[in-house]
Amino acid sequence: MAILIDLLNLIVYLPFRKVQQEDIVRNINHLTKYEWFQNFIKEEQYRKLIIHDKDVRKLIGKFNNKKMERNSYRLKCQEKLYRILLKS
């Protein structure tokens, strides 16, 4: 019974887990392998947003590093990041 309650707590808690600074830094380091992200960094206004904007950094921190090797997931992340950069 206690295990069931613990699992239920996990299911409720995980969607609201805060993005940690370590997640953001790890994902930025991983993303620098890709040319499209390097192009964002070269663009002055985007670089400022990636470094300082809370919403942009939170989005980057949510990316799943393990899935990033898949082209489809990487493309989805690229599009999400581009949209939030344009909006910010």
Span 18-72, pLDDT tens digits: 778 888 999 999 999 999 999 999 999 999 999 999 999 999 999 998 898 899 9
Residue 27, token pair as written in the block: 């994902």
- Residue found under tokens 């898949």: 70
Nearest of 16, 87, 85 to residue 57 by alpha carbon: 85
What span, in angstroms and rounded, lies between the C-alpha atoms of 57 and 50? 6
* 48 residue type, one letter: K
What span, in angstroms and rounded, lies between the C-alpha atoms of 35 and 20? 25
Q: Domain map of the chain by residue range?
A: 19-87
pLDDT recorded at residue 4: 52
What distance, in Å, lies between the first and last C-alpha atoms of the chain? 47
